[in-house]
Amino acid sequence: MRPDRFVDKVAFITGGGQGMGQQLAIDMAKEGARVVVVDIDVQGLEETRTLLEEQNSDYLIIECDISDDVQVAKAIGKTIGKYSRLDILVNNAGLLRNATIEETTNDLIDKTIDINIKGILYAIREVTPIMKRQSYGRIVNVSSITGYLQRDRPTCSHDKDDVLLGRCEERCDGREDSSEATWYCEGHVQSDDVLILG
Ligand SMILES: NC(=O)c1ccc[n+]([C@@H]2O[C@H](COP(=O)([O-])OP(=O)(O)OC[C@H]3O[C@@H](n4cnc5c(N)ncnc54)[C@H](O)[C@@H]3O)[C@@H](O)[C@H]2O)c1
């Protein structure tokens, strides 16, 4: 741990009500970040609040469905309202359902696209002008190793891997300001959703 790594940085973390997003919020706050934690799950957010309070972190908790562009814009607006900047966007929230193409329902297709693709794009779209204004920004998109390894599971994370993130990374790298995007493929972590999948 580097206690001063994120000092003065404001990190906006989606899906911080449990699992990896929650741990990330706690760890980044320990390393000096002011963390904005968004999630659709109010109970999970309260748990994260308690954990952040326990370590005296500077934080903001916002209930937000990232698949709703208006809610995403409001959450980022609240962040700017409180901190006047947003340095790091972590697109962590995601839907992970282990389905083959034959098991994939219309509802699952819609939800996966809404959360794993549109949700990420909405957040990137909102933070881009802010990061450009600051001449600084970091975007971390959490994807999945299943995009490489489980090619028969189209709704796992291939959407994130193939459709969006590789290209997003290229675009951000081509900018003239100092913004960066990272495409990060998670392996296997025993979070609640993964435990349910078995
Ligand atoms: N855990 C793993 O082994 C693993 C492996 C590969 C990829 N990933 C990816 O890493 C990320 C985090 O994984 P995890 O295991 O901690 O997930 P998780 O399911 O434990 O937590 C995801 C969080 O996102 C929130 N969320 C879901 N839909 C949302 C929405 N519409 N708006 C706001 N919040 C929403 C959930 O409420 C939850 O708190 C996910 O994107 C997942 O696809 C995880």
Task: Give the residue, by CA position, lying nearest to ligand 1 atom 15.
Answer: 191
User: CA triplet 120, 124, 128: central angle to 5 degrees?
Assistant: 180
How far is it, in rounded angstroms, from Cα 71 to Cα 130? 17
Ligand 1, residues at Cβ distance < 6 Å? 14-15, 17-21, 39-41, 44, 64-67, 92-96, 115, 119, 142, 144, 157, 186, 188-189, 191-194
CA of 175 to the centre of ligand 1 (A): 29
pTM of the predicted structure, to 2 decimals = 0.86
10-189 maps to CATH 3.30.465.10: no
Task: Give the residue, by CA position, lying nearest to ligand 1 atom 1.
Answer: 189
So where are the chain's domains? 10-189
pLDDT tens-digit series, residues 120-179: 999 999 999 999 999 999 999 887 766 556 555 555 444 555 445 444 444 444 445 555
